[in-house]
Every structure is written in structure tokens, then in C-alpha cells.
Structure 1
């Protein structure tokens, strides 16, 4: 991968010093560590976005199902589970 871009950022001197020391202690260039952190951040954000999109699709499908009258009301669900609990209860 070509490294043609330069990324400049401002940060507190103590944070920079601690980061540089940690990178040096792990025998890795600071730029390599920053690239890995950036990749990890991008991957986490993409996963978060994909999960959010998945949930939005599930909610939309559930709303459409309910509007089409395919759902069950609270009392029906409670009655079913009350019957299940009763069947499992010790005699």
C-alpha cells in the first residue's frame, strides 16, 4: 500500500510522549500503530453502522407486519406463556 498521504494532528504533549514511549517499547514505529488504530476504528464503525442498518430493517419489517395485522396482542402472548409456565410448574 502506498503511503502518499500525510496526517497531522494536535494532541497534548504528555499523551504524545506516552504514546511514543509505548510504541517504542513494543518495537514498532508510531506511524504503524496509528495506522492499525485507524483501521480498527474504521472496522468498528462499519460494524456499528451495519448493525444499525440491520436493526432499522428489522423494525421496519415488524412495523409493516403489525400494520398488516399479522401480529399478536399482548394479552394473547401473555396467555400462551402463562399456559407454558403452568405446564412446566411442578405438581
Structure 2
């Protein structure tokens, strides 16, 4: 892996505090900054992946609605009332 140099400007207080924090973690300031940069890149990559997945789910849902593949609130409630009843029956509780 080739290496590159990044130059940043911070005030002396922050530099001193950061250097002390790096020493307390038993690593160099360069390594700590590199770890931070890797974490930011990974977070952004994961967020982009999640956003793409979510957009795909929304598009599928919208396409279903456009195609008329929808249920009324009453149909959904009836379906889950049946499931609740079946679960209670299976658990040996008739609800009384």
C-alpha cells in the first residue's frame, strides 16, 4: 500500500490534547487519525448501501401500490386477528 501525506491545521491546544490521547491509547497520532478516517469511510459506505437498499424497498412498495396490490385496513386487521387467535390457541390460551 502506498502512503500519502495529509497536512491539517489545528490549534496548539487541540494538537497537544490529541497527542496525549493517542499516547494514552498507545498509538501514534497518525495511526489514530488513520483509524478515524477508515471508520468514517466504512460508515459512509454502510450508509450508502443501506440507503440503496431502502430506496429499492420503497420503489417496490410504490410499484405494488401502482399495480393495485394493496390491502384495506380491515383486511389487515382481520388477517392479524386470525394470527393472534391461532397463536393463543397454540399456546393453550383461549383468551378467556
Could you state the TM-score of these two structures normalised by the residue count of structure 2?
A: 0.79
Cα displacement string for residues 28-52 of structure 1 (whole angstroms, at most 9, x for unaligned residues):
2211111111011100110011001
CA drift at 1:82 = 2.8
State yes or no: 1:90 paired with 2:95: yes
Cα displacement string for residues 4-38 of structure 1 (whole angstroms, at most 9, x for unaligned residues):
x2212233433221110111223322111111110
Residue 56 of structure 2 is matched in structure 1 by 57
Which of structure 1's runs of 4+ aligned residues deviate more than 4 A? none
Q: How does 1:10-89 map to 2 (within 5 A)?
A: 10-87=9-86, 88=88, 89=94
Q: CA RMSD in A?
A: 1.8
The SS at the match of 1:90 is: coil
Mean Cα deviation higher: 63-72 or 5-14:
5-14
Residue 2 of structure 1 is matched in structure 2 by 2
Q: How many residues align?
A: 90
